[in-house]
Structure 1
Amino acid sequence: MKATLFTLLGCAAVSTVAQASSDQAWDQHYQQMNQRCIAASGLKDARALGKPAEFDDRVGYSALLLEGRYPQKHMNNRRGTELCLYDNQRKAAFVTEWTPGKP
């Protein structure tokens, strides 16, 4: 009886330990995501607007808004905003132009 009780208590203690990521791991993730998203955007002087949106692990993506200036001559250094989807598993960034309020 005592052996069973101790086994159950041991399992309960181990199962309650959270497998959370450290602040350092999150900072490294954000830094890598920022670098890859900015590189994929092609915008001049690109920077992240706020913090990324972290989707559930089942989705596997994070989203980040970027702002910068279009480098193409015909764009006349116009300011632009792009949405970056970052694949957390493959560590790949995909961007598209983001124009709020337009379908």
Structure 2
Amino acid sequence: MKAFVSLLLACSALTSLAHASSDQAWNDHNAQMSERCIAASTLKNVKVLGEPAEFDDRVGYSALLLEGRYPQKHMNNRKGTELCLYERQRNLAFVTEWAPAKP
């Protein structure tokens, strides 16, 4: 009986380790998030700035900064920055203009 309990505890410990995401899974997630955020952007020539901010699974969002150029004629091709919130469960991207805080 003790051997069975020990085996059960060992299996449950190994099972919890199996839930960790692989590097490939994170790369796929980041690629999909970048693609969806860029598609949702209102800027042209958009690129991703830095690494995503990954919120806890209870929140279910990742955040990504984008940079590009305003397409409107009156904006004179000025640089712009957007914040993209990516909802991981439904693979949806939402963007808003982002102005960095000034010191």
Corresponding residue of 1:94? 94
Paired letter, 1:20: A
Structure 1: unaligned runs, 5 residues or longer: none
Match of 1:10 among 7, 11, 15: 7
The 5 A counterparts of 1:24-103 are 24-101=24-101
With 44-53 and 12-21 compared, the bigger mean Cα shift is at 12-21
- The separation in 2 between residues aligned to 1:92 and 1:63, in whole angstroms, is 12
With 78-87 and 37-46 compared, the bigger mean Cα shift is at 37-46
Structure 2: unaligned runs, 5 residues or longer: none
TM-superposition CA deviations, 1:20-56 (whole Å, max 9, x none): 0111010000000000001101211111111100000
- The separation in 2 between residues aligned to 1:99 and 1:22, in whole angstroms, is 34
Runs of 4+ in 1 over 6 A off after TM superposition: none
With 54-63 and 8-17 compared, the bigger mean Cα shift is at 8-17
Equivalent pairs counted in the alignment come to: 99
Q: Structure 1 length as normaliser, TM-score?
A: 0.90
Q: CA deviation at 1:70?
A: 1.0
